[in-house]
Amino acid sequence: MTPSQQIDRLIAANTDWRGKMLARLRALVKEADPQVTEEWKWRGVPVWEHDGIISTGETYKAVVKMTFAKGASLPDPSGLFNSSLEGNTRRAIDFHEGDKINERALKALIRAAVELNQSKVKKKAPAKAKARKGKKA
């Protein structure tokens, strides 16, 4: 079973608001970054990646949590982050039953996470190129 199929199954298994919320969050991730890949990690956590982890989508009894792997480094002018605020790396958004998603702000946050991941990849590339040039000489 592919990661996308496993995420489909998780959404279908949550027949209440949590399944609908996770499905909407997933759709927004894909809209914000059409090149996103889906993974299934840590024994049952949907993960969206592009040059590294963008975010996870976890379902709990009272919330659907979207955790951004490098959220502490992301601008959040709309104040979406409302959970895991004390750490130095991650930030999360807890969605409760009946919450409305600020879709424009969430997509901007997703795009910022992708840009941050890509900037880290670009910084690593020149170092590898320099190492290769040194070996040839």
Give how far the C-alpha of residue 76 lies from the chain's centroid of Cα atoms, to the nearest Å: 14
CA distance 102 to 137: 54
Domain-wise residue ranges, the chain: 3-136
Q: Strand 53-59's sheet: what is its strand order?
A: 37-41, 45-49, 53-59, 64-68, 91-95
CA distance 64 to 26: 12
| CATH code reported for the domain at 3-136 | 3.90.1150.200
CA distance 47 to 26: 10
Supply angle C-alpha 84, 87, 90, rounded to 5: 65
Q: In this model, does residue 75 exceed pLDDT 90?
A: yes
98: alpha, beta or left, given left = phi > 0 and alpha = psi -120 to 50? left
Give how far the C-alpha of residue 48 lies from the chain's centroid of Cα atoms, to the nearest Å: 5
Confidence of residue 137 (pLDDT cuts 50, 70, 90): very low
pLDDT in tens, 6-58: 999 999 999 999 999 999 999 999 999 999 999 999 989 999 999 999 999 99
